A = this chain, B = another copy of it.
Amino acid sequence: MPTKYDIVKQEIKSRILDGTFQPHQKIPSESELMKQFEVSRHTVRIAIGELVNKGWLYREQGAGTFCADRTHNKRLSSVGSQKNIAIVTTFISDYIFPSIIRGAESFLSKHGYNVSLFSTNNDHDNERRVLEKILTEPFEGVIVEPTKSATSNPNINYYLNIERLNIPYIMVNAFYDELEPLSITINDQKGGYIQAEHLIQLGHRNIVSFFKTDDLQGVKRMKGFIKAHRNHGVTINPNGIITYNSSEKLTKPKEVLTKLLDLDRDSRPTAIVCYNDELAITLLDVLREKNLRVPDDISLVGFDNSFMGNLTEVKLTTITHPQSKLGETAANMIVDLVKEKNGQQKKSAEKVQSVVFEPSLIVRSSTAELNLRKKVTK
């Protein structure tokens, strides 16, 4: 003899199979079903519960119970419950990346996902190997920090393949323009603008800037730097913009700065805009060698609000970066996308969309008003 909840279950299943309930359509509420089948709420809940467990329905508290979309769930059933998310970053151990990863890992762990880590060392060949690996293994979602995002990418096809396999992915920090992916970035142009504006407002007119331009962040920060000068009617020092790439980051900026500081007092820069705090700390070494005091002799602005900027004797003026918050946001977004793909999410009422964090200035002690006295002292 069939049980009451079995009858309810079968009836609901029938209505799904005969098309009465279309995917993502709301089915009658529990109290409605109580009346229809003349059973208790508990019985209805058991019936629905089993159907949810088998993937026929999904529930949303406060909203209702909905028919799941079972069109392409073969992968899911064959793999079982492997909840793997891949995180691809350029670097693993450097700078603010550990914080970003931690934010994502923390969130994903809490939600029962495994986190697999890959790093490209900002190299396209490595990126390709990583993407091949991801395409081969059963990942449910991917968080990518693009490799050399400012240059054209030879691996675009791999990303298109990921899309074709219906694997959700999002890009953080930057993105490949051709793909127009969901992304989580910060407003780098505005950040660069704020850096420059801060120094301009402090009276500096001869500002030298260093931007790493193999990634989009540097290109945009540079754009902001230029715009700030233009908007404030300040002409940019012709040698005021130095660009470098990842492989040169330990050498070129130091060398160039050393040369610039050897110039005579009048043409020597009075302030430095750095692509990030990491570079600022590196350049601080040069300033110490030259016996220049920060900020009395020269001002210095970093970017990213890295913990590094607080370790030194000079606390860096810098621009905010969400760091672990960014990782967490990315994790949250990818989990939503995975749910949506598996038909466990509402329609498109709240469509997942890209996030842009707005940067702001943190003034510490590496910047000061332009000291005109300097010309007098000696």
Contacts and interface: CB of A to CB of B under 8 A. Distances in A.
Contacts of A92: 98, 101-102, 105
Which 8 A-B pairs give the minimum distances between C-beta atoms? A93-B98, A93-B102, A98-B98, A92-B102, A313-B313, A93-B99, A114-B116, A115-B117
Contacts of A313: 288, 312-313
Contacts of A99: 93
A80 interface: yes
A81 B93 CA distance: 28
Interface string A66-104: 000000000001001110100000011110011101100
Nearest to A308: B311
A304 B109 CA distance: 29
A133 interface: yes
Contact of A94 (B80, B98, B311): B98
A246 to B, nearest CB: 15
Interface in A37-93: 53-54, 77, 80-82, 84, 91-93
A101 B114 contact: no
27 contacts: A53-B53, A54-B81, A82-B137, A84-B116, A91-B102, A93-B101, A97-B98, A98-B98, A102-B119, A105-B119, A106-B119, A109-B118, A109-B129, A109-B133, A114-B116, A114-B133, A114-B137, A115-B116, A115-B117, A115-B118, A116-B116, A281-B311, A288-B313, A308-B311, A312-B312, A312-B313, A313-B313
Interface residues of A, number: 38
A324 interface: yes
Most B CB atoms within 10 A — which of A53, A92, A102? Answer: A92
Q: Which of A54, A77, A97, A114 has the most CB of B within 10 A?
A: A114
A301 to B, nearest CB: 17
Among A130, A311, A312, chain B packs the most CB atoms within 10 A around the CB of A311
B137 A93 contact: no
A113 to B, nearest CB: 9
A97 B117 CA distance: 14
Given A117-B115, A311-B308, A312-B311, A324 B105 contact: no
A226 to B, nearest CB: 30
Given A92-B102, A105-B117, A281-B311, 18 more contacts: A77-B80, A93-B99, A93-B102, A94-B98, A98-B98, A101-B117, A105-B118, A105-B119, A106-B119, A109-B118, A109-B129, A112-B133, A114-B116, A308-B311, A311-B312, A312-B312, A312-B313, A313-B313
Nearest to A80: B77
A101 B105 CA distance: 14
Nearest to A120: B109
A117 B119 contact: no
Contacts of A114: 116, 133, 137
A310 B77 CA distance: 48
Contacts of A119: 102, 105-106, 109
